Structure 1
Amino acid sequence: MVGIRDLADGQFWHLLGIEPIYHKDGKIILQVPVEEKLLQFYGKVHGGVVASLVDAAAAVALNQELGRERGATTVEMKVNYLRAVEKGVLYAEGNLVHLGRTLAVANARVWDDSGREVAFGVATYYLLDMTKGLNDN
């Protein structure tokens, strides 16, 4: 299992500005402050940023359920975009839907700092045996 700190310390999360917010009930919400570097040509947050946030939040939900000997990699993802965002902060939370022997499914929703839903998505993950080499999975 990859820990939340491992993910938060990763270069990709730093590139996008993704930070975890911890809650008393054990849930982890991710946040991304909207910066100019995240905007596309029309001044809206790029869809790839939102999709990455969906994937990250869903992966966090999955990783909270995996033991240290298991990992996961995204094999499929679908995102529905509901509205564009220009400024503020984006938040995301994931939920584990299914955890099988080789595949897992998690979903996530993204909302803005006024509470309006921005996007939601679902991702399928292939589960890895971290006690083996990555090419042996």
Structure 2
Amino acid sequence: MAETPAISLEEARETLANQPFSKLIGASVVELDRGSGTLRVPLRPELLQQFGLVHGGVLAYAADNALAFAGGTVLGPAVTTRGFSIEFIRPAQGDHLLAVGEVLNQTRRQALTRADVFAVAEDGSSKLVAAAQGMITRVEL
């Protein structure tokens, strides 16, 4: 039997709802299991750059949050990103982004995580557009 995540899907959604920037972007947590989390970002013209492609900052935002939510499933809800790197694989366009985060390794206080960001077209087809890896740390509030 799978272990219960240290943060529930409801808690993750509440956390995201309390982030003004996440509300501005329109992001939502769509899946959460112990060791993984998936974030959805609907694409609209305000999130694109001058060539009609998804702005790199939006891709980085999606990756960062997927990393953090995945880490939160093993460390609990009070986490922050200590650092991450991202590789932009191809230009992104489509209906929405899906950022899928997973925990690679963990200790009591931190988790090494990775995220794949996919651009999803209206027909449901998807392409990998970015990949990130980062360290998520538990914070004392």
The TM-score bracket by the shorter chain reads 0.7 to 0.9
Residue 57 of structure 1: CA displacement?
0.5
Closer, same or farther in 2 for the Cα pair 1:104/1:22, shift >3 Å? Answer: closer
- Whether the 8 Å CA contact 2:37–2:102 is kept in 1: the answer is no
Identify unmatched segments of 5+ residues in structure 2. Answer: 1-5
Is structure 2 residue 130 aligned with structure 1 residue 119?
yes
In 1, the alpha carbon distance for the partners of 2:84 and 2:22 equals 18
Is structure 2 residue 60 aligned with structure 1 residue 51?
yes
In 1, the alpha carbon distance for the partners of 2:43 and 2:81 equals 25
In 1, the alpha carbon distance for the partners of 2:136 and 2:75 equals 12
| Partner of residue 72, structure 2 | 63
What CA RMSD, in Å, does the superposition of the two structures yield over aligned residues?
Answer: 2.1
| Partner of residue 133, structure 1 | none
Higher-Rg member (1/2): 1
Residue 129 of structure 1: CA displacement?
2.5
TM-score (norm 2): 0.78
In 2, the alpha carbon distance for the partners of 1:79 and 1:28 equals 17
Closer, same or farther in 2 for the Cα pair 1:100/1:28, shift >3 Å? Answer: closer
3-state DSSP of counterpart to 1:41: coil
Tell me how many residue pairs correspond in the alignment.
Answer: 127
| Partner of residue 81, structure 1 | 88
Q: For each residue in 1:40-93, what CA deviation from the matched residue of structure 2 results, as whole angstroms up to 9, or x when unmatched?
A: 12221110100010010111111111246xx22212110011111233111111
Identity value in percent = 29
TM-score (norm 1): 0.81
User: Runs (4+) of structure 1 moved beyond 6 Å?
Assistant: none
Identify unmatched segments of 5+ residues in structure 1. Answer: 131-137
3-state DSSP of counterpart to 2:75: coil
In 2, the alpha carbon distance for the partners of 1:115 and 1:81 equals 15
Residue 39 of structure 1: CA displacement?
0.7
Residue 108 of structure 1: CA displacement?
0.4
Q: For each residue in 1:86-127, what CA deviation from the matched residue of structure 2 results, as whole angstroms up to 9, or x when unmatched?
A: 331111110012222443211100112122101110111232
* 2:54 partner letter: V
3-state DSSP of counterpart to 1:45: coil
